[in-house]
Structure 1
Amino acid sequence: MNSKFPRLFLILLGLIFILNVIQSALTPLIFDEAYYWHYAQNLSWGYFDHPPLVALMVKLSGFLFEGELGVRFVSCLLSTGMFAIIWMSIDHPKKRDYVPHFFVLLFSMALLNAYGFFTLPDTPLLFFTAFFLYTYKRFLEQNNWLWGLFLGITMAGLMYSKYHAALVIFFVLFSNIKLVTNKYAWLGVLVALFCYTPHFIWLFENDFVTIKYHLFDRPNDPYNFTKYTLGFFVNLIAVFGLTFPWVYQSLFKTKSTDRLTKALLFLTYGIILFFFVSSFNRRIQTQWIIVITVPLAILTFKQIIANAKIRKWIYITGIINGVLILYLRVGLIYEPISPIYYETHGNKEWISGIQEKIGDMPVVFENSYRNAPMYAFYSGVPTFSLNNFMYRRNQYSIDNSESTLQHQKVLYVSKRATGADMELPKGDGKMYYGQFIDNFESYRKLKTLVEEPISLNTEKEQTFRVYNPYDENISLDKIKFNIAYLNPTKDVVDRFALKAIPAESQTKQLISKDTVAFKFKFPKPNMDNATYFRIGISENDLLYGINGTNTKFE
């Protein structure tokens, strides 16, 4: 151990680990973490938005600790491991002389800092990116079945972290095209596919819901240069903060002298180019490009050792970055010094205030996969996000949380004041309203299915089917339909009540585990560019749900 890790390295690494553990225990959850905590209440091989590794991390943390640390402890371990693996990936005889510079460089990267204690899918993504690159390095040095096996395991770890990890695998392997004839590389691919098979099966059993959502159902705004492409370049700077000129200078100065360096360059330039092209179609979020921090940490540290000017300026700007980051980290815990109202602030107090009024009554949140799990985490009572046509589907659309609240008295929380029994102001200035429902009953898993090409410009009757996945029959008296018209970017623009009658007139209910056909005619939309439509269902006069997929007109 000591031959690979100098004593100073281990001391600094230990201090960072302790800092992250303390931060984890004292910082209230952010909304995404609460959502992944909700994942972890029912472990599965997949979830609506992401692969399952983030949920497993939460579950393992919960076995060891309670509260926020019971969500984040594994993240602390993985981020510490990532630092160590990046260090081991650097071959340079003088690297032990620059241990402080190494830590200044990595600690100065804001998102690497954040993922050192927040539990998000990017945390294992960064760990397995580093582990994959180290494994690939050893694979190049010792081309045998053992490192081929590890290559496959790390590729599976990447893909269980986040779907766009496929880019990491692709660009690294593409940098060495001769691997197509390497039997041990193929062993790695087969091992990865074998390890990933349970998730493939989950996707198949769940009608590829995750893939459909990310590729087809997500709304996307019209192209905006400032928001999309210019925003992408801003993100490239924001990832590194004040050190960005010297980090990118290090990238430009690096030459492809060996296969590992070539892989690091392919990965960095490949990710940047891929998301640059993507920026002409959608807004690129900062965390999507976070994986470039791992190869750039390796390349930049080598330049720190070799180039005195880069070493000087990385050290100075990195320390400034680090101090600012530490200040912001304290602000996550202690709101008075924070320059902004962040999502770690105020949630515990808001939830406590609601619970003082209603006790342990279950709560249904309208259109909020953020507030629902946050409330459940801090209150310990069942919650549900009732998603309607003004929102999007999420994990609450496919798991069993709906069933836990059926036929109970609930507080229904929304941003609509109509019919409200109480006001629920939040510290961020947003106003919510609560309404009591004595006998809550929802059927958000009903599916509307359109199975034939549809033309809007027709007077003919059209047909759709409704599938009832529940174990009970549902009376048609409890439901009604609407139709939403969407523009080319999949934003709902027009919506109308839809008069639909059963194809068989004697039908009075939706039979359990069966489908019923309905006939209808399209209401004429007010919009000129109706490109998609979606049929929704309202049960017991709740707002219409998202029961169908976005179907494109012929």
Structure 2
Amino acid sequence: MASPAPAPPPSSADLGLKSSLVVVGVALVLRVVLALGTNVYFDTAYYWQWARRLDWGYYDHPPLVAWLIAALGIHATALVCGTGTVVAVWGLARDVYADRAAAWRAAALWSVVPAGMVAGTWATPDSPLLLFWTLALWALWRERWLLAGLACGLALLSKFPAVLLGAAFLLAGLSQRRLPAWAWGTAALAAACVTPVLLWNAGHDWVGIAFQLRHGLDGKGGWATLGEFVGGQFVFGGLVLFPLAWVYAVRGPPTQVLLRMATVVPLLFFGYAAARARGEVNWPAMAYVSVCVGVAGMRPVWQRVALATNLALVLAVTSHLFFPVLRFKRDTALWRTQGWDVLSALARPHTLFPDMKPGDVVAVYAANYQLASQIAHYAKVPVGTAGPVRFSQYDLWPPPTVAPGQDVLWVEEDGPFAPSALTDRFTAMDEPAYLYGTYKGRVLHTFRVWWVRDAKP
């Protein structure tokens, strides 16, 4: 889209090559330590369930994360995608500035963006999205239209918001009054890649696309939810990097208009969505790819401050997850990453209920899809959801087979009593047993387990 900009002049205060290499190395080690030293994230367990039933689509997202987990496993999916994204940021910045030092600065900055750290540690749709968004942006910058179409298609197979990169490219082309004819071929190839997913949605009442629209735009929003979104960007994007995103978007070099649009379009779109409904702070994560490339060409003081603040945050959170000295009323980070492995006891439910015989229980039901997925992952038993829970992929799959006279378990954490939709199908229900998910002496989870007996004909 533009000729390479000249490299910034050398400076004694510049973020040096050695410092950049150290940061990239430290970030990679932290990702490996976090991936292997924490429990499986509940959303990751949900996508692991998808990987056991491969398809062209799922209720929540397109299928690429499931395909990768099936091929590589949970940890390798996140680590390969995360490392690949760092490499792609390096390559994009090298071509933008025609300078390897600037490329390493951009890679170091991206390595410690919290949103990128999360996606590079725990496998979610953001993991492949960030990789293929960056590869597509790089290919568009170099006007490699075939590669751009393939990368855009894979990004769309990761998450539907990848379409925002097309919007950014179109806006950049209009601002430069230049829209190469080959770009239409890129769009056609990307559309061809995602067509099977659209056909799957068409065959399932458009559940995936409808869910994304409702989840992102239909709800009780306003100034409060917009404020939550903005506050979240100071954490997931960076205390300094998030403000610099707007500086870069408004005052960045004219030659980098594509990167600037790739920054502002996701931030504005999801900011608008946050004003309509309560969203998730990770949604505009891809915007920070181009921010890091842009900041790599800014004054060295901003590079250092942005890098230092994000590195400090990443180190602090990592330290807390392994050595939790501070105590919070609700420690969300610790709750999400530790204590779930106690659910493996549900593979042997007779140890919880003295009167139960091995083999009596044929399935486990849970109050939500996250808990059901964690049970499936750690206990390796058939699972389902029941009651007034959020619609999920479990509602599209057939429920576990329970014959007359067989038993199930009902498990919840801080949730409702077993719903009548479940208990009405059985004859009796015992008092609950308890499982406590602990870490470093702290009780993070209290699971109540009911033995629901004797399924009716």
Structures share a fold, TM > 0.5? Answer: yes
What secondary structure is seen at the aligned counterpart in 2 of 1:432?
A: strand
Question: Which residue does the alignment assign to 1:199?
Answer: 197
Give 2:378's aligned residue. 378
Q: 1:191 to 1:319 in 2, by over 3 A?
A: closer
What letter is aligned with 1:416? F
Per-residue deviation at 1:11?
A: 7.8
**Matches of 1:394 and 1:347, distance apart in 2:** 21
Superposition map of 1:277-316 within 5 A: 277-303=272-298, 307-316=299-308
Please name the residue that 2:259 is paired with.
Answer: 264
1:26-105 aligned at under 5 Å gives the runs 26-61=37-72, 70-90=73-93, 91-96=96-101, 99=104, 101-102=105-106, 104-105=108-109
Identify the residue that residue 139 of structure 2 maps to in structure 1: 135
Q: Give the Å deviation of 1:423.
A: 2.9
Show the counterpart of 2:364: 364
Unaligned runs of 5+ in 1: 1-5, 62-69, 140-146, 442-554
Match of 2:342 among 344, 349, 361: 349
Aligned equivalents of 2:435 and 2:345: distance in 1? Answer: 12
User: 163-172 or 347-356: which moved more?
Assistant: 347-356
| Partner residue in 2 for 1:276 | 271
Cα shift at 1:412 = 2.8
Per-residue deviation at 1:342? 1.7
Q: In 2 relative to 1, CA 16–214 (structure 1 residues): closer, same or farther, beyond 3 Å?
A: closer
Q: Deviations over 1:417-450 (max 9, x none)?
A: 7944323354435452413232378xxxxxxxxx
Higher helix share: 2
Equivalent position to 2:313, from 293, 305, 321: 321
Distance in 2 (CA, whole Å) between partners of 1:312 and 1:216 is 40
Q: After superposition, where does 1:152-167 map in structure 2 within 5 Å?
A: 152-167=149-164
Q: Distance in 2 between matches of 1:23 and 1:313?
A: 25
Higher relative contact order (CA 8 A, sep 6+): 2
Distance, in Å, in 1 between the alignment partners of 2:177 and 2:286 is: 23
Which residue is equivalent to 1:479? none
Could you say if the C-alpha distance between residues 347 and 88 of structure 1 is closer, same or farther in structure 2, counting changes exceeding 3 Å? same
Report 1:166-185 matches (<5 A): 166-177=163-174, 182-185=180-183
Deviation at 1:297, TM superposition (A): 0.8
Q: Shift of residue 10 of structure 1?
A: 7.3
1:528 is aligned to: none
Say whether the 8 Å CA contact 1:102–1:301 is kept in structure 2. Answer: yes
The 1:113–1:200 alpha-carbon spacing in structure 2 relative to 1, beyond 3 Å, is: same
Q: Deviations over 1:30-74 (max 9, x none)?
A: 11011001001011010011100110121112xxxxxxxx31202
Residue type at the aligned position of 2:417: R
Do the aligned partners of 1:246 and 1:310 also contact (CA within 8 Å) in 2?
no
The alignment partner of 1:290 has SS state of coil
RMSD value, Cα: 3.1
Could you tell me how far apart the structure 2 residues matched to 1:200 and 1:125 are?
18
Per the alignment, residue 416 of structure 1 pairs with: 417
Q: Aligned pair 1:435/2:440, yes or no?
A: no
8 Å CA contact 1:335, 1:345 repeated in 2: no
Farther-moved stretch of structure 1 (14-23 vs 180-189): 14-23
Distance 2:250 2:100 in 1: 19
Give how far 1:313 is off. 2.5
- Distance in 2 (alpha carbons) for counterparts of 1:97 and 1:83: 13
Deviation at 1:170, TM superposition (A): 1.4
Any idea what SS the aligned residue of 1:43 has? coil
CA contact (8 A) 1:179 1:185 kept: no
Give the Cα separation in 1 of the matches to 2:336 and 2:252: 42
How many residues align structurally?
A: 408
Deviation digits for residues 199-233 of structure 1 (CA, Å, limit 9, x no counterpart): 1221122221212333358995534422x121122
Looking at structure 1, the residues matched to 306 and 27 of structure 2 have their Cα atoms a distance apart, in angstroms, of: 19
Contact 1:385 1:396 in 2 (8 A): yes
Partners of 2:31 and 2:121 within 8 A in 1: yes
Shift in Å, 1:97: 7.0
Deviation at 1:156, TM superposition (A): 0.7
**Shift in alpha-carbon separation, 1:338–1:123, aligned structure 2, 3 A:** farther
Indicate the structure (1 or 2) with the bigger Cα radius of gyration.
1
Amino acid across the alignment from 2:208: T
- Residues 137-172 of structure 1 show CA distances to partners (whole Å, capped at 9, x for unaligned) of 110xxxxxxx22111111111111111111122122
Deviations 1:237-271 (A, max 9, x none): 2223333376347526743422xx11111222222
Q: Name whichever of 319-328 and 280-289 sits farther off.
A: 319-328
Amino acid in the other structure paired with 1:35? Y
Amino acid in structure 2 at the alignment position of 1:96: A
The 1:218/1:163 distance shift into structure 2, 3 A limit, reads: closer
* 1:46–1:203 contact (8 Å) kept in structure 2: yes
More strand by share: 1
Match of 1:391 in 2: 389
- Counterpart CA distance in 2 for 1:316 and 1:343 is 26
Q: How big is the shift at 1:104?
A: 4.4
CA 1:440–1:77: 2 relative to 1, 3 Å: farther
Partner of 1:504: none
| Aligned residue identity for 2:300 | A
Identity of aligned residues (%): 22
- Aligned AA (2:303): R
Give the whole-Å Cα distance in 2 for the aligned partners of 1:327 and 1:221.
36
- AA of the residue aligned to 2:49: H
Match of 1:24 in 2: 35
Shift of 1:334: 5.9
CA distance in 2, matches of 1:219, 1:174: 22
Cα gap change, 1:323 to 1:393, in 2 (>3 Å): closer
In structure 1, distance between residues paired with 2:238 and 2:456: 49
